Each structure stands twice: as C-alpha cells, then as structure tokens.
C-alpha cells in the first residue's frame, strides 16, 4: 500500500513536469476556471433552493407555527440545528452529484 502511495505521488510530479515542458497549462487552467465558476454559481442557486425546500417543509408540516406557539428556546435551538444539519446534508449531496449533473456527455 505504501508503494502505491509513493508511485502515485511520483506520477503526480511527473505529470506536472510533462505539462510544464509541453506548455499545456492553458488546457488545464481555462477549463478549471470555467468549472469553478460553474460550481460556484450552481452551489449558490442550489443553496437557495435547499433553503426554500426546508422552509416549505417546516410550513407544510406545521412545525413553524408549533415552534412560535411553544416559545421554548431549547426546542427552537434543536430545530434550528436540525435545519442546519439538513441543509448541510443537502449541500453534500449536491457536492457529490455535481460532476454527474454538469459533466454528463451530451447525446448526439
């Protein structure tokens, strides 16, 4: 296992040397910037839709009305933490599916 790790690290540096000697940076930098911009914009819109979905879920189930009527700070805190956890899970789901959503092959 250690041998494979050492081989992979050596291959990484050899690949960078190959890219440098053949001047292939433009084929890495430009798609990388486009990918980062696409990821940032998509993450922003998915975050807004995840917030809207969580808000809709709390309104549909009647949780929001129940929490305002109850006015207990501990239960409100626990539900807030639960909402944040749900939002993080949704963001991790999107993060893991991002490449399959945007980088799928286009049928010809």
Q: How confident is the model at residue 79 (pLDDT cuts 50, 70, 90)?
A: confident
Q: Is residue 107 domain-resident?
A: no
From CA 3, how far away is CA 17, in angstroms rounded?
21
Which structural domain, as residue segments, surrounds residue 97?
2-102
Examine residue 49 and state whether it is found in any structural domain, yes or no: yes
Tell me if 69 is assigned to some domain.
Answer: yes
Q: What is the count of structural domains for the chain?
A: 1
> pLDDT of 83-107, one tens digit each?
899 999 998 998 888 888 877 777 7
| pTM, 2 dp | 0.67
- Residue 108 belongs to some domain of the structure: no
Three-state secondary-structure class, residue 67: helix
Pick the residue with more confidence: 76 or 37? Answer: 37
């Amino acid at each position: 296992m250690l041998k494979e790790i050492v081989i992979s690290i050596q291959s990484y540096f050899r690949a960078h040397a190959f890219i440098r000697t053949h001047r292939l940076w433009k084929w890495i930098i430009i798609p990388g910037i486009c990918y980062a911009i696409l990821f940032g914009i998509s993450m922003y819109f998915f975050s807004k839709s995840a917030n809207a979905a969580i808000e809709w879920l709390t309104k549909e189930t009647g949780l929001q009305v129940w929490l305002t009527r109850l006015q207990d700070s501990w239960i409100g805190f626990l539900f807030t933490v639960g909402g944040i956890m749900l939002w993080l899970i949704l963001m991790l789901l999107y993060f893991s599916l991002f490449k399959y959503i945007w980088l799928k092959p286009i049928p010809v």
